[in-house]
Chain A
Amino acid sequence: MSGGTFLGMPAFPRNAAAAVQDSQLRFNLRKATHTIRGKRASVVAELPDWAELRAAGKEIKDHTLRNLDRYLLQLEEAVTAAGGHVHWAADAAEANRIVADLVKATGETSVVKVKSMATQEIGLNEALQEEGITAYETDLAELIVQLGDDWPSHILVPAIHRNRSEIREIFQEKMASYGRAAPEGLTDEPRALAEAARLHLRERFLSTKVAVSGANFMIAETGTLVVLESEGNGRMCLTLPETLISVVGIEKLLPSWRDLEVFLQLLPRSSTGERMNPYTSTWTGAVEGQEFHLVLLDNGRTRVLADEVGRQALRCIRCSACLNVCPVYERAGGHAYGSVYPGPIGAILTPQLRGMGSALDASLPYASTLCGACFDACPVAIDIPEVLVHLRGKARHPRAERLGMRAAGWVFDRPARLAGAQRLGARLRRFVPGRLPGPLAGWTDTRDIPDIPAESFRDWWDRTDGGAR
């Protein structure tokens, strides 16, 4: 399993502790999440049948996952019949190798890319680099992230941690080494920055012969792929190059063309809070003379599918609504999650995809207050709190915690032991430190120790006969 750039990151609490000190990040995140949240709420309220659409979305996805083998075969047949080529990749390494070989076969040494979480997940850009192939991100935010040698921090607006003057600096310093330099006298006006990106990327779009994309949906019945976007860089990549390679997770499937009527209502409204995103492209097989390759990616998804509780995470359509309502995400930001999938969905998807071997992955199910806001916002009704609790049960707990729990169990097991412990605590209360020693410090680092009362409730009850005396 590859985690690409994120491997070796410290666990969530340490990342988050650093992130909450970054006031620019917190300000940007708060503004972003609250703005999108408000827009989402108003366009969702516009549809009288939102609850029914949400229920249908959930059921269509569950039905698809239950019959995933059958629908994947149907998809393969339809794509092939329409002149496309289908490849199967069991893990990240295989997917990267397939894409690298396909690019090499064209004789090209560079590709343009549409923002795609699947290719970030498998670390495709880095893998291509090792093969001498340069991958250019074309989404404005991804461009900012790539030029800044940085990591994305939000599913929808990956560069939300950067402000305009930082972006201007990045453009001025880095654009030239990637192609057309930033214009002289570039200001930090968003319009000027967007124009700089337009000019920088246009030559690349017009001349690059190979594109790599992901997809939001694949239709088994017809073999159609669907990409939703805003800027038009997706259309450029999907339309102009001679060869198109799409890397898509196997869970992105929908059974029939008709199912789009549900998801094209759920996704834009949940994601950007718009009635519809500016551009949606659909294509079936090889169109307009283009060569088309589809790489179907497992990379841990079948492992998630095998977990009865956890498999609902595969319904996710990556709208990012759960990020925007999450109180933990709002303060900690996307980087703390140490994966391309941040926020509540990341907290349940990443540890399942990668397994909970590392400290980071084992800590992710705790990156939540279980408030349930994510569940309410989710357009496919993923019960994220339920999966979090389920995964917490599966994570290995540290030794100190297990010992402590065992000791607590011994005390709480018998009323006499508990009463004795409480009296002991009351007598020693002056000596309780503000911060616990040794491994127990982990607890007090993030909490205050409650004051121990001079007398326990039980003793008070006995002494006063329930307050009567």
Chain B
Amino acid sequence: MSGGAAGPDPTARAHAAGPDPRGRTGPGTGAATGGPGTGAATGGPGTGSRELILSRIRAAVAGAPEPGITRAYRTSPDQAGAVELFAERVADYRAVVHVVDADEVAGAITAALGRRAAGRVVVPDGLPEEWARAVRSAVEAGAVPLGRGTSGAGAAAIMRDAPALSAAELDAADGVVTSCAVGIAETGTIVLDAGPGQGRRALTLVPDYHLCVVRADQIVAGVPEAVGRLDPLRPLTWISGPSATSDIELNRVEGVHGPRTLEVVIAR
């Protein structure tokens, strides 16, 4: 990377979406619901088009029947065997998968980072202390200064996102270790919600390697349960395998812009 092209990254505050509760009723715009003919000229550009589009819609659907919605699809598939299915489906995307007992997670983290010889690893706030220690011991044991970072920043280290790491600093990291919010068995999907142990979205995007720990109680059988568990007001990232493209003669190539390697440790 041509050195330090990107300045410090001001998109920094960790999960700014915050915990504000779902039900909100207060009017946001002050403009709403006047019905057609409210006229233009209440302010910003596009006000006229707003009324125009709304009135075109009303004219277009006037008198059309009101369709009902039947939800006859499965909303709670069988939970039995969900952990095994999840492991199998994640592996289907050519991610590296380990299923271990809860007390073996730390060991699995150290071993995985050791295999990668990862010297500079991002650890988001709120990652369980035991896992963070496992990262530290891997980094110290390996202590491989890869020296591909920005000037003088090549030494092995744990990288904390406080103060916020710049995009260039993230680009110089060897990998990132996170927890997650939800795992979906049927599709082999991991969902991050920028909560504790996950950090803001860029942390799991820019580094080339992502190690994610999923607890058995976070795994649900299907997509409907996952949607039900997640908070739409948080920024979500659904991850199903490493990034991939099939744009060249339809040959699948793993790893374009996101992490090229995804490793998943599942704690039974």
Contact = CB atoms under 8 A, between A and B. Distances in A.
A161 to B, nearest CB: 11
A232 B205 contact: yes
Most buried by B among A94, A167, A232, A258: A232
Most buried by A among B58, B59, B236: B236
B144 interface: no
A281 B171 CA distance: 20
Nearest to A224: B232
A141 B202 contact: no
Contact of A276 (B28, B44, B188): B188
B5 interface: yes
A301 B26 CA distance: 30
A250 B60 CA distance: 14
B100 interface: no
Interface in A71-111: 72-73, 76-82, 86-90, 94, 98, 101
A287 interface: yes
A274 to B, nearest CB: 7
B53 A298 contact: yes
B42 interface: no
B240 A232 contact: no
A232 B16 contact: no
Interface stretch (B70-78, B109-117, B118-126, B127-135): B70-78
A56 B72 contact: yes
Contacts of B224: 261
B167 A206 contact: yes
Contacts of B60: 302-303, 305-306, 311
B157 to A, nearest CB: 20
Nearest to A191: B253
A275 B187 contact: yes
B61 to A, nearest CB: 6
Contacts of B241: 278
A289 B72 contact: no
A80 B29 CA distance: 7
Nearest to A157: B247
A94 B1 CA distance: 38
A194 B244 CA distance: 9
Contacts of A306: 56, 59-60
Contacts of B251: 190
A88 B42 CA distance: 14
A130 interface: no
Given A66-B67, A194-B253, A284-B235, A289 B10 contact: yes
Contacts of B226: 261
B53 A279 contact: no
Contacts of B242: 278
B15 interface: yes
Nearest to B65: A66
- Number of contact residues on A: which range applies? 35 or more
A262 interface: yes
Interface string A237-278: 011111000000010000001101110110010001011111
Contacts of B32: 73, 76-77
A163 B250 CA distance: 10
B250 A275 contact: no
B17 A287 contact: yes
Interface in A165-185: 167
B12 interface: yes
Contact of B249 (A60, A87, A163, A241): A163
Most buried by B among A59, A90, A194, A222: A194
Given A278-B243, A282-B232, A52 B72 contact: yes
Given A202-B257, A289-B13, A264 B223 contact: yes
Given A48-B74, A68-B57, A283-B235, A207 B5 contact: yes
Contacts of B234: 284
Contacts of B239: 278-279
B227 A261 contact: yes
Interface stretch (A10-18, A28-36, A343-351, A444-452): A28-36
Most buried by A among B70, B224, B244: B244
B80 interface: no
Contact of B235 (A89, A98, A282): A282
A222 B23 CA distance: 9
A376 interface: no
Interface string B13-37: 1111100001010111101110000
11 contacts: A56-B71, A72-B53, A88-B50, A90-B53, A140-B256, A202-B171, A233-B257, A240-B9, A288-B235, A298-B49, A298-B56
Given A28-B249, A305-B61, 4 more contacts: A31-B250, A36-B250, A230-B245, A282-B235
The 3 closest A-B pairs by CB, nearest first: A232-B258, A80-B28, A232-B257
Interface of A: 28, 31-32, 35-36, 48-49, 52-53, 55-56, 59-60, 62-63, 65-69, 72-73, 76-82, 86-90, 94, 98, 101, 138-141, 144, 157-160, 163-164, 167, 190-191, 193-194, 197-198, 201-203, 205-207, 219, 222, 224, 230-233, 235-236, 238-242, 250, 257-258, 260-262, 264-265, 268, 272, 274-290, 296, 298, 302-303, 305-306, 308, 311
